[in-house]
Structures are given as C-alpha cells and as structure tokens.
Amino acid sequence: MKRLRAIQKLVIVLITTSLVVSCSNDDDNTVTGPTLNIVETAQSVNDLSILVDAVVQAGLVNALTASGDKTVLAPTNEAFTDFLAEKGFSSLAEVPNDVLTQILLNHVIAGANISSSALIGNTGYANTMASGPNGTNLSLFYDGTSGVMFNGTAKVAMPDVLTTNGVVHVIDKVIDLPTIGTFATTNPNLSVLVDVLAYADSGTPTVSYISTVSDAMAGPFTVFAPTNDAFVALLAELKVSALSEVETSTVDAVLLHHIVNANVQSNQLTSGEVGTLGGPITADATAFTLTDANGRMSNIVTTLVDIQGINGVVHVIDRVILPDLEQ
C-alpha cells in the first residue's frame, strides 16, 4: 500500500509537469518535453527523499544534473530503509561516502536513455558508472521476461520517468555492488554452473566456490563460465547421465581450469598460454577461443564477455574446459 501511494504521488507529479509544459506552449501548440532534470525530478517526489539525501551526501548532484543521456534506477525510501538495515546502519549518515558513492553510481547507466520497452522481453547486461577492479565499470544484469528486474533483486515499480537529462525508473530495492556470484545466480543460462559449484563444495574443494565467488573482498578473478548447454554436452561426452556420477574431486579439478587469479577483460586477452588455477590452457585472442590440454576448443561467446563484478570478471564460454585426461 505504501508503494502504491508513492507511485500515485509520482504519477500526479508527472501529470502536473505535463500540464505546465502544455499550457506554457498554448500559443504555438508545441510541446517542449520535461522541464526538470534528474535531481529536480527526485526532489519533487516524497518517496525519493532518501535518494536525494544520498546524492547530496555523496557529492553527486552535479553529475546527475549535468546534461547528457543517463538512465537512473531510483530506489524508493522503503528500499533505502531496508538496505540500511540489512547493512547494519541506523542512518544514511553512517554509510562511508566512498561506499555510498559507488552504490549510487551502480544505479546509473551513462550515455543512454534506456526505456522500459527496450528491456521488456529481453535479458542482457549494461555497464553502470560504479568502479570495479582496475578502474573497470561494473555490470548490471537486466531480465525483462516477467516485468523488469535488475541483478535478480530490484523490480521496476514505475518506469519511464522522463527528465531533461535522462530517464528514471523507480525501483523497489537498492542494488548492491555485484559479485561474480551475483551474475552466476541471476542469469538462468548459468544455472547449471551454480549447481556444479555447489556440488564441488559438497566434497573437499580446493576453494569454497560459492562463498568465494560471492565474497566482494575475494579475488579479483577471471571466470570462464560454461553455459547450461555446455554442461549438458559434457555429461554426454563423459557418458554419464547425471553430475552425481562424477567424483567431486574431478569436478573440483575441472572448475579450477576455468578460473584465472587476475581480472582480465576481453581486450586484455592475449594469444598464448593462460595460467588458470588448475593449470595452463591456450588462448587465441584473434579467434576468441580457449584450448585445453586435450586439444578441446571452447569458444568465448563474444556477446557475453566483460561481465564485471566487484571481485572479478566473467566471460561466457560454450564448452567446458577439462584437465589433462592422460595424467
């Protein structure tokens, strides 16, 4: 009910703004569009007051009032209150400014006004203005298959609020800085990978996979992430019908061959030997392929590279990499 009232207030503000614009142009029957910038729009809505306070505290007012296309995901007051409680803060003032700045920038996509119509029915990634390892920009996963959701947690409550310098989508959760684990668990095409990580953890893994990829302080790592189809093909290749038929120690060895102990974006990939935690594989930076010790080739999916989290980067591949089967 609180969220419904907030949305109703926002609609009233938008209608009022529209009427003001229309009336101011009665003489020539032209419409000039929105008259408020992103910050002014947020200031005009009571349920975005904590967001405004956060923007002021972090010193981002100028960045969000500057001209140029932007897509802003605006958490409601309830979203901020819940987030602060989850993080153990009793007030916004307790949040360190450097942390708050990155959280807020993780809600801003620069250089594009992305409407809800471009998201509905689609899934994919965009880069936010938040900073990851080596000055990279963090990624944001959107899923428009049932409403619109970001990073598996924040739903759009009010889409397409137009401003003079971008578009705002009001959301019902604050989006935390993503980890590798965030992207593995939110993309349904990587669900089998999550199952494989959990299965490896049920044995005696070299590293605790689920907790490591979900730890913002770990790494940074580069993860070559096989698709669901890649794992299905591997089971057929190994002539087994279920993952449980494979020893957890073998799964551990396989997973180690998909992890590099550095944050390597696609434009940093060079041809030659790549040292994974499990041993060397060979990369072809021109063909965008990885070859394991058995001569088996995996293609890096060029549309699914540089999925950047706070603790590392993910590149999706179409075939599982295996250790040397002759050893």
pLDDT at 34: 84
Same domain, 184 and 167: no
Same domain, 157 and 219: no
Same domain, 129 and 202: no
Question: Would the pLDDT of 17 be above 60?
Answer: no
Same domain, 152 and 187: no
The answer to whether the bond into 220 is cis (omega within 30° of 0) is yes
Please return the burial class of 278, using the count of CB atoms within 10 Å of its CB with bins 0-12, 13-18 and 19+: buried
Q: Which residues pair with 259 in a beta bridge?
A: 223
Contacts of 83 (CB under 8 A, 6+ apart): 75, 173, 174, 176
Same domain, 112 and 48: yes
Question: Would the pLDDT of 13 be above 60?
Answer: no
Specify the residue for token string 């409403």.
147
Specify the residue for token string 């590392």.
312
Specify the residue for token string 């987030």.
83
Same domain, 121 and 257: no
Please return the burial class of 207, using the count of CB atoms within 10 Å of its CB with bins 0-12, 13-18 and 19+: middle
Give tens-digit pLDDT for 168-188.
Answer: 999 999 999 999 999 999 999
CATH code (residue 127): 2.30.180.10
Q: Mean of the per-residue pLDDT values for the chain?
A: 91
Same domain, 7 and 114: yes
How far apart (Å, rounded) are the C-alpha atoms in residues 188 and 129?
Answer: 25
Same domain, 194 and 285: yes
pLDDT at 28: 52
| Residue 202 Ramachandran class (φ > 0 left, ψ -120 to 50 alpha, else beta) | alpha
Which of 137, 171, 205 corresponds to the end of one domain?
A: 171
Q: Label residue 237 by pLDDT band (50, 70, 90).
A: very high
How far apart (Å, rounded) are the C-alpha atoms in residues 170 and 52?
Answer: 13
Q: What is the mean pLDDT of residues 238-262?
A: 96
26: containing domain: 2-171
Contacts of 125 (CB under 8 A, 6+ apart): 139, 140, 141, 142, 304, 307
